[in-house]
Amino acid sequence: MEHWLNKSVFYEIYPQSFFDSNGDGIGDLPGIIQKLDYIRALGCNALWLNPCFVSPFGDAGYDVADYCRVAPRYGTNEDLESLFASAHKRGMHVLLDLVPGHTSVEHPWFKESCSARPNPYSGRYIWSSSVWEDVTGYPNISGSLRGISPRDGSVAVNFFSHQPALNYGFARRTASWQSAVDSPEALATRRAMRDVMAFWLDKGCDGFRVDMAGSLVKDDEGSRETIKLWQEMRRYLDEAYPDAVLLSEWGEPDKSLAGGFHMDFLLHFGTSHYMDLFRCEHPYFSREGKGSAAAFIETYRYNRQRTGGRGLMCIPSGNHDMERLRKYLDEEEMKLAFAFLLSMPGAPFIYYGDEIAMRHLARTSVEGGYFRTGARSPMQWDDSANYGFSAAPADKLYIAPDEAAGAPTAARAMADVHSLWQEIRRLIALRMEMPALQAEGGVEFLCDGDTYPLVYLRTAGSQKVLVCLNPSAQPASCVCPYAPARLLYSLGGLGGLAGGKLTMPGQSAAFWAVE
């Protein structure tokens, strides 16, 4: 039976900025439930929720203080269960954000670990033997804390100083304080994270997007031990929760898929060249026509080869860690970008507000957001106060919304037949109809990506769809060996496909069923 992921189109929700149902200025779970029909109307059938658990919110919830309790500002555990059920009634699935690599310093595990007296949590985090001995200088450790507790030793952190790293062991041990990957303390950490997953899966969660999935085992050359760790996690899930989905923030599909993840994100950092397409000085999808997709295509082909042709690599429109797409592309350019995103293999991810071209804002850092804060502003629903996000006074909102003239809203976008929202809806509907355009379909690039247009063939069984995109304002042409059978989609004017040559007007897209 076909897995639901093959036809999934995800909508990422940053809970604190989506919809405030109780007027306190912060989005919440009941608010998300109220807006499920909006998401479904767009065509999305799956959700990814950023962390919604108890936290001191030094890093917007990625500093978890209790994995098994919803933060009161978002609601209750019962509200989250209601969200699962409400989504399922609409044929939607929900992934939670799992942060297995670190916790907050406020987590009870860490507080117990800080005790000078040995206890069951002494080995839950990575501590050196002495406060004078540092734990930095090893792969996947970004810093340390010292002198913070009665316990003698330094403790490793994963990123911010309030995010102590959980102990999954070291693949290569070079100091006595480093645990082996099969040590009692490292195995106890694995069991604890399995218990967290089971807790939410029992309540109706469909799986997890896993934060920093490749970072768990330290000093792990080639990620060999981290891959083994996730293979063991997958075996557990296959026995107890075979339908549970795992998507990884790893950025190396050959490793994450080998580890048992269903799909992997192409990250905005690292070697994917994702940023060449949408977020750089000369994006490929800008009408100026000065960009190049060549490095992206080369890397994408490399990843497919290393994963045995599996196209389960997710390409997001954006996320909570990036500047908004609208900072680099206008609404018309974004239509071409979404024609690409919604016709590639893997599951597409739409970041809330990108479907209406919300702008990146200049904002003071909120909850560790720094430059990312500008992409986390409240969803703009309509032209009422606070854009319909909240009934709270404006100065009580989680982040100040867009105050500039012409700020987009969902209500206006839905009413405009020519809007980006409507174009995305059309593209998702076509993707749902055509197996070749779905997650597991094959892809063959018919160009090197160094010029325009961008052309690739999607296949599933005997079905073939030729995707032709010309983001440049100038007409473009290329050699094309396929004969058109039926036009499936067009945007910005129609060129031609005949005699072995494809011609396209500037700023245009065409999808052809081909023989």
How many whole angstroms separate alpha carbon 203 and alpha carbon 247?
19
- In this predicted structure, what is the pLDDT of residue 360? 98
- In this predicted structure, what is the pLDDT of residue 117? 96
- In this predicted structure, what is the pLDDT of residue 65? 98
Q: Sketch out the chain's domains with CATH numbers.
A: 4-99+187-279+314-431 (3.20.20.80), 280-313+443-515 (2.60.40.1180)
Write a three-state SS string for 185-201: HHHHHHHHHHHHHHHHH
Longest dimension (CA), the chain: 80
**In this predicted model, what pLDDT tens digit does every residue of 114-159 receive, in sequence order?**
999 999 999 999 999 999 999 999 999 999 999 999 999 999 999 9
Residue 499 clears pLDDT 90, i.e. is over it = no
Q: What pTM, to 2 d.p., does this model score?
A: 0.97
Token pair, residue 208, equals: 């997890």
- In this predicted structure, what is the pLDDT of residue 250? 93
Give the gyration radius of the chain's Cα atoms: 23
Residue 31 clears pLDDT 90, i.e. is over it = yes
- Can you name the residues that pair with 508 across neighbouring β-strands? 470
For tokens 């960009």, what's the residue?
291
Report the mean per-residue pLDDT for the chain: 96
Scored b (16 or more CB within 10 A) or e, 249-273 reads bbbbbbbbbbbbbbbbbbbbeeebb
- In this predicted structure, what is the pLDDT of residue 308? 84
**In this predicted model, what pLDDT tens digit does every residue of 249-278 receive, in sequence order?**
998 999 999 999 999 987 776 678 999 999
Name the residue among 397, 387, 340 with its Cα closest to residue 359.
387
**In this predicted model, what pLDDT tens digit does every residue of 449-476 receive, in sequence order?**
999 999 999 999 999 999 999 999 999 9
64 SS3 class:
coil
Percent of all residues in the chain with a pLDDT value above 90, rounded to a whole number: 92
- Can you name the residues that pair with 207 across neighbouring β-strands? 95, 245
How many whole angstroms separate alpha carbon 340 and alpha carbon 375?
22
Token pair, residue 200, equals: 């939410």
